[in-house]
Amino acid sequence: MKLLYSRNPNPRLAVATARHLQAPVEYEFAAPLAPGQAARYRPLNPALRLPILVYDDGRSLWEADAIACRLSREAGSSFWRSGADEPAMIQWLSWGKQNFVRACDMVRFEYVTKQRYGLGPVDAGEVQKGLELFAESAALLEEQLSGRPWLLEDGMSYADFRMASFLPHHEQAGLPLDDHPALRAWYARIEALPAWSDPFAGLDAPELPPVAREA
């Protein structure tokens, strides 16, 4: 199997997951949105996004969460829970995508993605909306993580990785993680994992364009 990736947040999450699981995949850098690349990648992912997992028979799977599920099964790991704990893990994936992860993405998009790809100035209104959702959802996580180290009672799971998916370079992204001590401590535990802190070690992973500062 081949895992197609770039350094952006969702493919980074997939690479970190694969490395954490020591999954038997080959890693291949890809740029489906680059000029002239669409025809090559559309059959693998009609949405032209990364990550993509390509099976040996040429079929493919896209979306980081689906890929994590597949790789965890392949590795015989409970990182993606099965059985009794699976609903609780899915609860956090589902809530996170609409709340904390979305808030991080909204703010990061303004300060990082738009500035990196020249998509326009920071929209203060969008930042404000994102920070409000961040405050609300971080408060919920802060309460939960004050009583236990990971989102699930019985230890780290893929839900922790997904919840943290937009936190790398959180200072640059303008995310006030340090205002929430239990949440900060939880993320420090994730950052302590080599698979998370440096998922691209030894891989061909061209740096993303720099983030331009607004004048």
Ligand X SMILES: N[C@@H](CCC(=O)N[C@@H](CS)C(=O)NCC(=O)O)C(=O)O
Q: What angle do CA 183, 6, 28 make, to 5 degrees?
A: 125
Q: Which of 4, 10, 41, 141 binds ligand X (CB under 6 A)?
A: 10
Any contact of residue 60 with ligand X (CB under 6 A)? no
Strand partners, 52: 4, 62
Please name which of 58, 15, 60, 8 lies closest in space to residue 31, comparing C-alpha atoms.
8
Q: Which of 3, 9, 103, 173 binds ligand X (CB under 6 A)?
A: 9
Q: Which of 3, 4, 6, 114 binds ligand X (CB under 6 A)?
A: 6
To which H or E segment does residue 52 belong?
Answer: strand 52-54
Q: Which of 1, 2, 61, 63 binds ligand X (CB under 6 A)?
A: 63
Any contact of residue 8 with ligand X (CB under 6 A)? yes
Any contact of residue 107 with ligand X (CB under 6 A)? no
Please name which of 14, 81, 88, 74 lies closest in space to residue 45, comparing C-alpha atoms.
14
Any contact of residue 33 with ligand X (CB under 6 A)? yes
> In the complex, which residues of this chain contact ligand X (CB under 6 A)?
6, 8-11, 31, 33, 49-51, 63-64
